[in-house]
Structure formats: structure tokens, C-alpha cells
Amino acid sequence: DSGVTQTPKHLITATGQRVTLRCSPRSGDLSVYWYQQSLDQGLQFLIQYYNGEERAKGNILERFSAQQFPDLHSELNLSSLELGDSALYFCASSINPGTGNEKLFFGSGTQLSVL
Amino acid sequence: GQQVMQIPQYQHVQEGEDFTTYCNSSTTLSNIQWYKQRPGGHPVFLIQLVKSGEVKKQKRLTFQFGEAKKNSSLHITATQTTDVGTYFCAGFNSNTGKLIFGQGTTLQVKP
């Protein structure tokens, strides 16, 4: 158990809909990362937050947005869903990003299926 | 933008054979990390390399960081069925603040 909690584990929805994925980082970790993993694909970096502020942005679509709340949990919002958005979405947390110690602890992921 | 390439994408070996995966970055890295993802699981941190030319060992696994800090490799000696999974390298660039993962190498080990 990495200590990172993601909910829900599975999500099935239809095209055009909007969903919210939730992540609670490990106790003490200030930074949260979101990654997308499609079938047979690597981990595509979406966005990173540190202590409530956006720290780095990757290939995140305009239809997607995220935020980190004062209690450090994070939510990833996916809207106007398309079939191609079906993927495994991972959240990860770390202690000290940017200090040379960016070891990530991953949650179990949310499997999103858009039908 | 920053890219991290990893080869090969897939590798099938007989149990007992060696295995190597290679990682190359388009930019100089501050550090490189390696993760292992078992089938159906999530990535798990293996190691971080920081210094130019650094070599670290974990039992049968040997990790190297290139002199120019743009490439890295993971070598497994005498593979076992427990080594099955996808191995990812991830390069951190302190200028961009991004940790970019390679595409991963999926290792299959035939008993």
C-alpha cells in the first residue's frame, strides 16, 4: 500500500459526460501529480500541484482541469468526454519536488471507460 | 519539449537470461528514476540516480546513469519469473520541473 488513495477505482460513463477523479496524497506529501496511461502506452504527464498551486503542466487537454485543495487532496475533472479519453488515470504524490528527491508514490489508479 | 525514449518496447526472455532496457532523454536531466509496474498494478519506485556516471545495484538489478546525464540503463542478471512487468524510466528536469516517463519496456519471462 503506497498510502495514496484514489477514488473511484472504476468509472464507466458516456461520451459528452463529465467526471471527477479524486486523489488523497500520502500523509506529509505536499505535491500531487496526475498521469494518464492508455492501453500499451506509457505514463503521460498531465499536471502537478504543490501545496495548492499548479507547479508544472504537461499534455493536459483544455477539456481537463485539476486543482489541489487546502487539505492537499486533488481532483481531476474531465469534461466533454470522448472515446479516446478511456484510460487508467494515476495520481502520485511526493515529498520534496524540485529538491532532487522526486520519488513518486502512486495510487492504484482510476480506470475510466467512455462508451 | 522534453522527451524520454525507452527501448525496447517489449522483451521476451527465457528464465535465467539477462535483460537490459535503455532510456534516452532529449535534454540533460537533474536525476533519473526507475519504476516497475506489475501487470494490473501501479508503478512502484525502484531507484533514483543523480550523479553523472553513477552506478547502483539492487541484488540482480544494475542501474547506470550516463556521463552526460541524458541516458540510463537497467540491467537484470539471470531473470526470474518475478521480474515480469513493465519497467519505466523517468527523467526529471529541474528547469521545467517536470518528471517525464519513458514509454516503458515490458518484460516477459518464460519459465
B3 vs A97, more confident:
B3
> Per-residue pLDDT tens for A50-95?
999 998 899 899 999 999 999 999 999 999 999 999 999 999 999 8
Q: Do B44 and A90 touch (CB under 8 A)?
A: no
How far, in Å, CA of A37 to CA of B70, rounded? 24
| Residue type for position A48 | Q
Q: How much is the pLDDT for B94?
A: 82
The most confident of the ranges A4-8, A41-45, A96-100 is A4-8
The answer to whether the beta carbons of residues A11 and A88 sit under 8 Å apart is no
What value does the CA radius of gyration of chain A take, rounded to a whole number of Å? 13
Q: Do A100 and B42 touch (CB under 8 A)?
A: no
The most confident of the ranges A36-40, B66-70, B91-95 is B66-70
Q: How much is the pLDDT for B96?
A: 79
Residue B56 C-alpha, separation from nearest chain A C-alpha, in angstroms: 16
The answer, yes or no, to whether residue A99 has pLDDT greater than 90, is no
User: What is the average per-residue pLDDT within B17-32?
Assistant: 95
Q: Do B99 and A102 touch (CB under 8 A)?
A: yes
How far, in Å, CA of B10 to CA of A101, rounded? 29
Q: Which residues contact B73 (CB under 8 A, 6 or more apart)?
A: B20, B21, B22, B23, B63, B64
Residue A98 C-alpha, separation from nearest chain B C-alpha, in angstroms: 6
Residue B103 C-alpha, separation from nearest chain A C-alpha, in angstroms: 4
Measure Cα distances from B43 to A66, B8, B56, B61, B104 in Å: 21, 18, 20, 17, 11
CA-wise closest residue to A73 among A7, A9, A2, A12: A7
Q: How much is the pLDDT for A97?
A: 65
Q: What percent of chain A has pLDDT over 90?
A: 82
User: What is the average per-residue pLDDT within B41-70?
Assistant: 96
Q: How much is the pLDDT for A95?
A: 82
A26 touching B, CB under 8 A? no
Q: Do B33 and A102 touch (CB under 8 A)?
A: yes
| Per-residue exposure over A57-83, b if at least 16 CB sit within 10 Å of its own CB, e if not | ebebeeebebebeeebebbbebeebee
Q: Do B48 and A104 touch (CB under 8 A)?
A: no
The answer, yes or no, to whether residue B28 has pLDDT greater than 90, is yes
Q: How much is the pLDDT for A101?
A: 67
